[in-house]
Amino acid sequence: MSGSVVLVHGVRSSRTMWRPQIKRLTKRGFHVVAPDLPGHGERQDEEFSLAAALATIDEAVASCPEPPMLVGLSLGGYLSLQYAATTQRPLRAVTVAGCTAVPNRFLAVAFGAYLSWRDRLPGSADDSVLAAFAKANSPKAARHYYGGGRAKAHVVAPVMRALGRLDVLEAIGSIDVPVTIINGRRDEFRIHERRFLAANDAARLVVLDDAGHISNLNRPKRFTKELRAAFERAERPPLVVA
């Protein structure tokens, strides 16, 4: 089995968060594209906007030799749903993780302001954040998640404004290729999981034990196995499981 996969990363991370998946999928013969979003990784000096982020995904999809499976986690998941719902390009499937909390415009803006303020507090330096992430997940996970550097604080506000404008339930409901949702059992973003499944009754849910929000790094082998299963499932009738 081989084909193309596009991986879209989370906020303040970069393409490096997908290193375990890139390694394993490439070894299996997949063509893998994992771009840095504007304001992240090697593009930290660029301004983030919804249009620029979707254009980045479009460029990655267009570069694939065949319709890819689009994969996103957290911010990358929300963007992947929006892109899949609006693109004219063919996709094989869509798999998202850590993005089944419905954004609220006002709460998103407020949360963005809070995060920007918190970044100026003592203990918010990159080294401290890296240590805290390593403690909550693992040192290896921290090295992957922040391997391309930690995006600057100013990216948070435009990211939150962009998310607050999305109608993610309408987006997932309009996607006409197989959709798989992968969530860590301890992920706080599972809060509206059932609403997402109700919006697209062909979507499939996979819950990973011993995983939190960054499930691809908490359970890298199992996560990659589920990506391969989602890719293969795209040619079969979808199944909803809990």
In the chain, what percentage of residues exceed pLDDT 90? 77
In 25-178, beta strands by DSSP E: 31-33, 69-73, 93-97
The pLDDT value given to residue 106 = 61
How many Cβ atoms are within 10 Å of 47's Cβ, its own excluded? 11
pTM assigned to the model:
0.91
Q: What is the pLDDT of residues 151-174, one digit of tens each?
A: 887 898 899 899 999 999 999 999
Dist. CA 197–CA 94, nearest whole Å: 14
Question: Residue 4 is inside which H or E element, if any?
Answer: strand 4-8
Place of tokens 């919804």: 50
- Express each pLDDT in 87-115 by its tens digit: 999 999 999 999 999 988 766 666 556 55
Instruction: Identify the residue whose tokens are 């879209």.
Output: 8
